Amino acid sequence: MKTEQQYFEEGKTLADYMEGMTTHKENGQKVYEGFKLPQDDEFISLLKEKQPHILVITEDWCGDAMMNNPILRHIVEAAGIEARIAYRDADTELIDRWLTNGGRSIPVYLLLDKEGDVLAKWGPRAPQVQEYVMEQRETLPPKDAPDFEFKQKELFKNLYVEYTTNNDYWLWVYEDIRRTFMGALQKQD
């Protein structure tokens, strides 16, 4: 059984992953170009000092990954640390260790220390985004309704618009990643 550190060592960088995307490349680039990293010397300094690694479990068809990964990329670039990709569907052994409510939801970010031990897990959504998505899903008809598939596609289309244009969502993601990672790194002292 491979360790998280081994998956990290075998993974491509987050920048290379985003460059090679096929499904949501344009939208991911839109988020990357639109998001401005808040001035946050405390968080970035802590990352620079501790030099953790981040293992990203993702797939490029995922709308949540399309929004979250560009935000994480800004964080790792500012801190000079590495985030590397493990594809969820290529080896489900890894994601099955890090299920969210029993499901293989992505993206999942694993904060690793220098020895490769997992300090924290983040993902797949910031709490405020999760709340919004759940509210929207409640508007869908039952799965056996004739218009369910159409309504679900419309919901996803509308979510992608929000994900690629709503700066509040981006800040919620940033703040939740920051809270999770800072809490884990500060416990190390």
Q: Residue 169: how many CA atoms within 13 Å on its side-chain side?
A: 24
pLDDT for residue 189 is more than 80: no
Q: What is the pLDDT of residues 129-162, one digit of tens each?
A: 999 999 999 999 999 999 999 999 999 999 999 9
Residue 1 pLDDT grade (very low, low, confident, very high; cuts 50, 70, 90): confident
Give per-residue pLDDT as tens, 174-183.
Answer: 999 999 999 9
* ω into 127 cis (within 30 of 0): no
Mean pLDDT computed over every residue of the chain: 94
Question: Which pLDDT value is given to residue 17?
Answer: 96
Tell me the domains of the chain and their CATH numbers.
4-126+167-187 (3.40.30.10)
**How far is the C-alpha of 176 from the C-alpha of 187, rounded, in Å?**
17
